[in-house]
Structure 1
Amino acid sequence: MSSPHINAPIQARMYAKMQHKVIWVVVVVASAGLLAPALFFIAAKKRVVSMAVPAIYAVLIYGSAIVGSVLGNPKNWVGGVLAITMIVAAVHAAILDMDWKPGR
């Protein structure tokens, strides 16, 4: 009998210190969410989140900006989409290591 824990992937910690978490959240907010896909790509490489997460953020952020510039932005919907995505990305970045326990 083999244990399912023997071949289980090791989940790395996303942030080494609390200072790193603060810096990443500030960077996501200061860049208006434009650097959120990069943060979540790093998290996906560390296997903290799945690879679909940075792809979804990239499609939402860059796709809405491109579609808004092609179709026009008469009611300023692009700014709303980017603001909501930035807030969601900042909260998501802040809670990435919430379930991490030392010694795991």
Structure 2
Amino acid sequence: MAAVAVGLSAVGLVGAPAAQAQGQAGACLVVQNHAGRTTTVSMNYPAGYNGEWTIYPDDLSVLLYDGVAIKSPTGDFNIQKDSDLQAVWNYEGNRDHDKGCNGSWVVTLNR
């Protein structure tokens, strides 16, 4: 599994739909790309994670910010994604404890 670090991009997600998960305090976020193309996500919540993440086809990645896994104090996540992609959320409680996570929300992006 690869970890994806934040990178700024000239391509914005203005008007892109949000996808969200709720619960599981201290959880991290993993993005799985089953869209068949490179895609980009950005973070609405938790706040303070500015920028966009590029997710390559078939990638399964813990999102990192400044080299650290993004963790939600409430367990809630709200991301912006490409408008034509569906988001399916699953919580995996045994995932990414080695990164300081209380499990991870895995959001799978599909066409």
User: Which of the two has higher C-alpha Rg?
Assistant: 1
TM-score (norm 1): 0.27
TM-score (norm 2): 0.26
The structure that is strand-richer by fraction is 2
